[in-house]
Amino acid sequence: MDLLFKIFIDPFLQMGAMPDLLVQTLWEGLVSGVLYALIALGFVLIFKASGVFNFAQGIMVVFAGLTLVGLHEKGVPAWLAVLLTLGVMLALAVAVERVVLRPLVNQPDIILFMATFGLTYVLIGIGEFIFGGEPKQMITEELGLPRGAIDVAMLGGRVTFQKIDIAAAVIASIMIAALAVFFQYTRIGRALRAVADSHKAALSVGISLNQIWAIVWFAAGIVALITGIMWGARSDVSFALQTIALKALPVLILGGFTSIPGAIVGGLIIGIGEKLAEFYWGPLVGGGIENWIAYVIALGFLMVRPQGLFGDKIIERI
Amino acid sequence: MFYREAGQYKKTYSADMAVFPILQDRIGIGLILATAAIIIPIFGSNFFISTVMIPFLVFSLAAMGLNIVTGYTGLISLGTGAFMGVGAFACYKLTTYFPDVNIIIWILVSGVFSAAIGALFGLPSLRIKGFYLAVATLAAQFFLEWCFVRVPWLFNYNASGAIEVPQRTLFGVAITGANATPTTRYLVLLGIVVLMTWVASNILHGRIGRTFMAVRDMDIAAELMGIRLLPAKLTAFAMSSFYCGVAGACMMFLWYGGGEASDAFNINQSFNILFMVIIGGLGSLIGCFFGAALLNIVPIILKFGLPAIGLPLAGATAEHINHLFVGSLIIFFLIVEPHGLARLWQITKQKLRTWPFPY
Amino acid sequence: MNAMNHSEFRQDIAPGDTLLAVDNVTLRFGGVKAITDVSFDIRKGEVRAIIGPNGAGKTSMLNVINGFYHPQEGRITYRGQTRSKMRPHVAASQGIARTFQNVALFKGMTTLDNIMVGRTLKMRTPFFWHLFRHGPAMREEIEHRKFVEEIIDFLEIEHIRKVPVGKLPYGLQKRVELGRALAMQPELLLLDEPMAGMNLEEKEDMCRFILDTKEQYGTTIALIEHDMGVVMDLSDRVVVLEYGQKIADGTPDEVKKNQKVIDAYLGVAH
């Protein structure tokens, strides 16, 4: 009885008793949700256009961040480092298309999926080999990102908003809007949507698949760089982030693999859900449930709605 | 010239259905077993046995487990590390409560526990496939990893949070714990691996193996042939986790001699084993050994081999190069030979069969 | 060929009686009606053809019969048992086997193993014996291997016994698929375009196998086929679907003369 009380009633009493803490938790969850959504976004871009379940997207985020910081450490000015990193991401996109995607075209999805495991390890290897394995500080100031925090008095307490978090949320929204415009109104965007619908049909009207794939991987690379900067500013930049980056996967399951709104909503649900769970229910079992609760939420979801929140219903044909 | 089946007529179905229908293959297996059981223990140095052979056998066993579910049944699992951990902890608890029962029995029985846990986490496989299932198995990985650290009962409330392997004996000879020699541990491990490989081969060559492969190749058709998907998939998960669990118990008791779960059974271990399976060959038992051998030997060469020939390499750098190498190898194999080293081996055998007159 | 008990399911229904009856079946996917209010029956021992233009709902009909799709309305009576919902493996265990429009073989397995999978339902040895692959497990394996060899013999595919089916040409794949279905010793065999994409010679072979199957095993056959020559030669009765509705039902000759059928195939002048 006591246990049931602790699980089902007590957390909500706590929420009601200290609404400022609840707002703080929600905000924390919202921000990490935005970052999950950003990783998931890069992932959805690639999945839509090439049908590849890119396991390496999370690592691309770390890799981009690490390249940026690493270049700056070697004395490159911040603005040039950003440009150079973009160049690296472009080179990566072209290389992936040439070396991995092109030879594997028409292979089963699962083979391509496993190839991205390989890519993950290659990126970790290269990144660590060139820039070393130690955690690094993100060059927040040099990039002109705000620091410090705003304290707001509300609901009988104080809620702290990190300026960098606000910036992250704003930049993420801008980027999502920009992507939407790009997809909807440009020639390349139209080609991308065509490829997403049907590879063969797109090929037959003269769209170059190879080019499109390189473009989406580059787009995903840009998203990765921005995510990397935001994320790096909140913690260190190192490949230890990869396990956190994996949380983009439950986000995708929740949102559906092909839906950009799905990625965003899924990211927010997972981000907020796990922060609430950790803060209010975590103490019951000794904490640390943040590491797996996202997967359990996603798993529960899968059982009910295998196609995700925004995915199309799967009709099996034979 | 010497490796061919000409003249070896099979007069019964059972002869045709043998695992090694060709005489030369049977001789080869005999030689390998003799080398492993007699020559290596006598002539191998302690360093060789404990750094090369023991890890190789443990990884082979784990790869075999993963291959059953991923290679044969077509369900990707990223929870191998955790299922190995379940085996290790089950064995630890069992030998703590019943110290008088022989540890080898507990190592084998611990597989039953991880089989149960594996089947439990395999339940979603009825409704979800492919990538989705991979993510679902990540839930198992992270949840179990968390349990290993947060449930002190599992590691007997040791202050270190680690498994402390007690000394256990067989006929008065120490086989686990600090006093067990590498050779003893190696021989015990070899016995377990040989036994379990034989059993796996038996199962996979019969009705159950065919059911797995049917589910892998075309699950809808399999269902319309009367195969019930959920029991088939759960059997695969359970059997796979059984092997992984035994591998995990072997890892802790016969190789590490104790240690922290978060080091041995984390997500990287899951990937490591998966890579062995991919490189060795999905859906091939012999491939498990190839993959385990290759991925086990590379870091050893980078760590010990290069300094020996005058190319010193910092430990961290060696690890980075290893990452790079393994990643490239995966991509290379998926592109060039998706069936891995096992297929290369088959092709070689085929060439040998017709050599020197291929036409 | 009847070395093993070949007629587990067939004691009670005499040739010519109704084996399977489809009553007023309607199947929808969301708003799309794939099948609308279709009724027909299949009699024991006959070859029943289902024909119609592309998209008429023929394959959906087969999917309904073997439990892969569940119709929203209507009933299916098989061997006197009326059923509303059924899982495919239950249909299989009651003696309904099928082949597929796009060959659905187990591509990584050999011809032999593919056909052996068809025997799965008849294999009962407990798991324990499979650990050793000796004793009952091995005896059972050999017994079924004999049966499978008879099918291989019947279909004249001895030479590809140990070839992975993914490497076989299309015509042979279709033949292996038929073999896999026959291995189930079905009471009712559903063939979805068994001759699609074949050349004349392969078609003749396949016709021969279908007729032989009927003769030797007394299997009831329902088949979908586009080649009218084949349909008219092989089948005892034909049902014609168009846009998910039944437009004709009868012997090949009756159907040939039916005005609706002629319109459906040749088009109507408007």
Give me the tens of pLDDT residue by residue for chain A, a chain 318 residues long. 677 777 777 777 777 777 778 888 888 888 888 888 888 888 888 888 777 888 888 889 889 988 998 888 888 888 888 899 999 999 999 999 888 888 887 777 778 888 888 999 899 888 888 887 777 777 777 777 777 777 777 767 777 788 888 888 888 888 888 888 887 788 888 888 788 777 778 888 888 888 888 888 998 999 899 888 888 887 777 777 777 778 888 888 888 777 788 888 888 888 898 888 888 887 777 777 777 888 888 888 777 777 777 766 666 665
Q: Rounded to an integer, what distance in angstroms lies between the CA atom of residue B165 and that of residue C180?
A: 52
Mean pLDDT, chain C, whole residue set: 87
The reply to whether C90 and C38 lie within a common domain is yes
The reply to whether C149 and C119 lie within a common domain is yes
Task: Give the domain extent around C75.
Answer: 11-95+186-270
Specify the pLDDT at position B180: 82
Complex ipTM, two decimals? 0.88
Closest partner residue to A315 among C29, C100, C104, by Cβ? C29
Specify the pLDDT at position C269: 64
Structure tokens at B37: 């059981």
Cβ distance of A318 and C29 shorter than 8 Å: no
Where chain B has pLDDT below 50, the residues are none
Closest partner residue to A318 among C29, C30, C68, by Cβ? C68
The reply to whether C82 and C194 lie within a common domain is yes
| Residues C225/C193, Cβ–Cβ less than 8 Å | yes
Closest partner residue to B216 among C91, C108, C142, by Cβ? C108
Domain boundary among C126, C161, C185: C185
- At residue C45, the 3 state secondary structure works out as coil
The reply to whether C86 and C193 lie within a common domain is yes
From chain C, the residues in CB contact with A315 under 8 A are: 29
Q: Strands, DSSP E only, in chain B?
A: 168-170, 173-176
From chain A, the residues in CB contact with C105 under 8 A are: none
Q: Tell me whether B313 touches chain A (CB under 8 Å).
A: no
Scanning every residue of chain B, which has its alpha carbon at the shortest distance from the alpha carbon of C104? B221
Q: Tell me whether B6 touches chain A (CB under 8 Å).
A: no
Residue C12 has pLDDT above 70, yes or no: no
- At residue B265, the 3 state secondary structure works out as coil
Sign, Cα dihedral of B207, B213, B217, B218: positive
Cβ distance of B202 and C109 shorter than 8 Å: no
* C205 contact partners, CB below 8 Å, separation of at least 6: C175
- At residue C216, the 3 state secondary structure works out as helix
Q: What backbone phi and psi angles, to 5 degrees, belong to A149?
A: -140, 160
The reply to whether C83 and C114 lie within a common domain is no
CB–CB contacts below 8 A, B to C? 103
Helices and strands, counts by H and E, chain A: 14, 2
From chain C, the residues in CB contact with B199 under 8 A are: 131-132
Specify the pLDDT at position B94: 93
Specify the pLDDT at position A29: 87
Closest partner residue to C106 among B17, B199, B214, by Cβ? B214
Scanning every residue of chain A, which has its alpha carbon at the shortest distance from the alpha carbon of C29? A315
Scanning every residue of chain A, which has its alpha carbon at the shortest distance from the alpha carbon of B270? A117
Q: What is the dihedral of CA B1, B7, B13, B16, to 10 degrees?
A: 0
* Domain segments of chain A as ranges: 52-245, 247-318
From chain A, the residues in CB contact with C68 under 8 A are: 316, 318
Q: How many angstroms away from the CA of C59 is the closest CA of chain B? A: 14
Burial code (b: 16+ CB inside 10 Å, e: under 16) for C118-140 equals bbbbbbebeeebbbebeeebbeb
Scanning every residue of chain B, which has its alpha carbon at the shortest distance from the alpha carbon of A113? B131
Q: Which chains form contacts with chain A, at 3 or more CB pairs under 8 Å? A: B, C
Residue C116 has pLDDT above 60, yes or no: yes
Is C5 among the domain residues? no
Scanning every residue of chain B, which has its alpha carbon at the shortest distance from the alpha carbon of A102? B335
Structure tokens at A180: 């939407």
Cβ distance of B226 and C120 shorter than 8 Å: yes
CA distances for C226 relative to C192, C230, C231, C240, angstroms: 10, 8, 8, 11
Is C156 among the domain residues? yes
Q: What is the dihedral of CA C151, C154, C158, C162, to 10 degrees?
A: -20
Q: How confident is the model at residue C61 (pLDDT cuts 50, 70, 90)?
A: very high
From chain B, the residues in CB contact with A125 under 8 A are: 320-327
Domain boundary among C185, C205, C237: C185
Structure tokens at A30: 């919202």
Specify the pLDDT at position C9: 46
**pLDDT tens track for B126-161:** 777 777 888 888 889 999 988 888 888 888 888 777
The reply to whether C91 and C191 lie within a common domain is yes
From chain A, the residues in CB contact with C108 under 8 A are: none
Mean pLDDT, chain B, whole residue set: 87
The reply to whether C146 and C200 lie within a common domain is no
Is cis: bond before B356, omega within 30 of 0? yes
Is C38 among the domain residues? yes
Is C172 among the domain residues? yes
Count CA atoms closer than 13 A to A28's CA, side-chain side: 16
Q: Which fold has domain B52-354?
A: ABC transporter involved in vitamin B12 uptake, BtuC (1.10.3470)
Closest partner residue to C117 among B17, B203, B210, by Cβ? B210
From chain B, the residues in CB contact with C138 under 8 A are: 14
Closest partner residue to B210 among C87, C116, C133, by Cβ? C116
Q: Rounded to an integer, what distance in angstroms lies between the CA atom of residue C179 and that of residue C116?
A: 10
Residues of A (208-267) whose Cβ lies below 8 Å from B = 243, 246, 249-250, 252-253, 257
Cβ distance of C100 and A315 shorter than 8 Å: no
Specify the pLDDT at position C4: 42
Specify the pLDDT at position C145: 92
The continuous run of DSSP H or E covering B320 comes out as: helix B315-336
Residue C174 has pLDDT above 60, yes or no: yes
Is C108 among the domain residues? yes
Domain boundary among C185, C202, C235: C185
Q: How many other C-beta atoms lie within 10 A of the C-beta of residue C52?
A: 24
Q: How many angstroms away from the CA of B130 is the closest CA of chain A? A: 7
The conformation of residue A296, written as its DSSP 8-state character, comes to H
Specify the pLDDT at position C10: 46
Q: What backbone phi and psi angles, to 5 degrees, belong to C126?
A: -65, 155
Tally of domains within chain C: 2
The conformation of residue C101, written as its DSSP 8-state character, comes to S
What is the separation of C-alpha A175 from the centre of its chain, rounded to a whole number of angstroms? 13
Specify the pLDDT at position B303: 78
Structure tokens at B319: 């690890």
The reply to whether C238 and C248 lie within a common domain is yes
Q: How many other C-beta atoms lie within 10 A of the C-beta of residue C74?
A: 17
Closest partner residue to C104 among B216, B218, B283, by Cβ? B218
* A50 contact partners, CB below 8 Å, separation of at least 6: A101, A195, A212, A213, A216
Structure tokens at B76: 């990707």
The reply to whether C142 and C254 lie within a common domain is no
Is C244 among the domain residues? yes
The conformation of residue A283, written as its DSSP 8-state character, comes to G
| Residues C223/C49, Cβ–Cβ less than 8 Å | yes
Specify the pLDDT at position B6: 66
